[in-house]
Amino acid sequence: MTIEKIKLLRKELHRYPELSGQETETARRIKKFIEKHHNTKIIENIGGNGLAVIYEFSNNGPTIVIRCELDALPIEEVNSFEHCSLNSGISHKCGHDGHMAIVAGLVFWLKKQDFKKGKVALLFQPAEETGTGAPDVLSDYRFNELHPDYIFALHNIPSQPLHSIITINGDFSSTVQSVAIHLQGKESHSAEPEHGVNPALCIAELIQKFEKLNNNDPTKEDFRLCVPIYSSMGVKSYGISAGFGEIHYTLRTKSIEKMERLKQNVESLLIDVCPKHKLPHTTSWFDYFPAVVNDGFCNQVIKETAKNSNFDIIKKSMAFKFGEDFGWFSEKYKGAMFGIGAGIESPALHQANYDFPDEIIETGMTMFKGIIERILTH
């Protein structure tokens, strides 16, 4: 059966995960799967390791892009099932293997269609987890030459009922930005710390001050979340008082504008604290994810498709706290993202024991088929 072939692809992709920007074998496996089942136009190396699979029904009418993600995470898998990751320290703990399987599975349906207008592009996007994949795709002239009119994506959502469709008006996800703060002190003998500048107290004060910036209540307009990700200082040589250090944070807000204000708060905090400890500092900002903003028309298409397919619809009133680089696409094109419930008992995203539920592959395919049909036949 077709669905069994798609599930086997999902498990194959799960066994051989690759990190952001390194998805060469993942893209090769997708390309091989599609070519085996249908000979259609494929654009390779789009935005890096990405693929765009093109179905042209007519030169007239809208172009619909259905997007998924290629990359995995630097997490050691603790599961012991047969399709467990074979790449040490890397695993699909966000469900991108399932998202790819859903989108690749659409080829079985698309090759049988005879729409009178429009074009469909299946986009397998690299480097979502670092926020660099979408802007790289957008800067690739071959993607721009597709002239997308609409772009859609999904994400599986643990702790929600299987097969439920989660919709949000307006912002679907948060704006996310990461920062590395480097502190340059001065080493000294650990018997004479007064002759050096140790960053320990500065780091401790910064951590406390960062915590005071937080309002971890997503129902509030001034929701903002500063999470410590990594820190280090000195070397493991016990006669040396540390002379340098660094701390990394990820920041989350409800909008791009609120993120700019939070970044200003962080810079003011550093200007206040670091000189007090005689520590020059530098900051590096990276891994930026603008909020996904759902277009009204596209979101309505999602809701109508879910209703016509008899899926339970969960209307969420506020954006998810996670970041999604699909936000880069929603800044430029009319688009929308929806969630699919991955099960009440499913481990959370980015946890070492998470696994994408195969049961919702058909749900995702049904949704994308309905979205495409609704736009290309109305």
Q: State residue 288 phi and psi, 5-degree precision.
A: -95, 130
* The CATH number, out of the four listed (2.40.70.10, 3.20.10.10, 3.10.129.10, 3.40.630.10), of the domain defined by the range 2-170+292-376: 3.40.630.10
Q: Which residues does 54 contact at the CB level (< 8 Å), separation at least 6?
A: 40, 41, 42, 43, 119, 120, 121, 146
Q: What stretches in the chain show pLDDT beneath 50?
A: none
How does pLDDT run across 165-193, given as a tens digit for each residue? 999 999 999 999 999 999 999 999 999 99
The first and second tokens of residue 14, run together, are: 């799960």
For residue 140, which amino acid is it? D
Per CATH, the number for 175-289 is 3.30.70.360
User: How distant, in Å, are the alpha carbons of 304, 335, 337 from that of 141?
Assistant: 33, 20, 24
Residue range(s) in the chain whose domain bears CATH number 3.40.630.10: 2-170+292-376
What CA–CA distance (Å, rounded) separates 264 from 255?
Answer: 14
Give the pairing type, strands 313-316 and 165-168.
parallel
Q: Which residues does 8 contact at the CB level (< 8 Å), separation at least 6?
A: none
**pLDDT in the model for residue 1:** 73
Residue range(s) in the chain whose domain bears CATH number 3.30.70.360: 175-289
